[in-house]
Amino acid sequence: MNQINPALERILVSEEEISQRVIELADQISEDFKDVKRLYIVGILKGAFIFMADLTRKLSIPHVVDFMALSSYGKSTESGAVRILMDLREPIENQHVLIVEDIVDTGQTLQYLNRILMGRNPASLHTCALVRKVGQSVNIPVDYLGFDIPDVWVVGYGLDYADKFRTLPYVAELKRDSF
């Protein structure tokens, strides 16, 4: 398939690369958590829903899925203020928790989530992200990372621009004049 949507600049991570990497990440997570009773997996809406669905279906360990929705006040806010729009269904005290994010840009969202969820006393807290942009302003480690990508606006595989392009099977750079 050579034709891509004219609003897109180029494909950064192909469908094949994603599915291969999802299997590798799921294998790694399954190995690392093979001794826990169950892994409590927290997907961050909306962007992580496709990654979450593919990743969890490749796990070979007991797990439950839950979701959080956050609203960000935008890059311009120094504080990186983030608000919880929808919270988890269960307390996570003494649970082994894995956060699944679509993308780490500045790292503020992940840092905020880490702080909030650590405050609920989980047995452990780890992070997984499909893509991470280079040059983050917040130095937050990602335990399970799909791909490093350039600092451009990307869409597809759950990621949107104005709620469009989410269901593209790949991650692509949006053309500047499409904003």
**Annotated catalytic sites, by residue?**
105
Per CB under 6 A, does 8 bind ligand 5GP?
A: no
Instruction: Sort strands 144-149 and 8-13 into parallel, antiparallel or unpaired.
Output: unpaired
Per CB under 6 A, does 154 bind ligand 5GP?
A: yes
Tokens 């490093």 correspond to 148
Tokens of 142: 């990602």
Q: How far is the CB of 165 from ligand 5GP (least distance, A)?
A: 8
Distance CA 46, CA 68 (A): 9
Q: Assess contact for 47 and 24: CB atoms under 8 A.
A: no
The helix (run of H) or strand (run of E) holding residue 41 is: strand 39-45
Contact string 26-65 vs ligand 5GP (x = CB under 6 A): ---------------------x------------------
Give the nearer residue to ligand 5GP in terms of CB position, either 54 or 101: 101
* Residue ranges binding ligand 5GP (CB under 6 A): 47, 72, 101-109, 153-155, 159-160
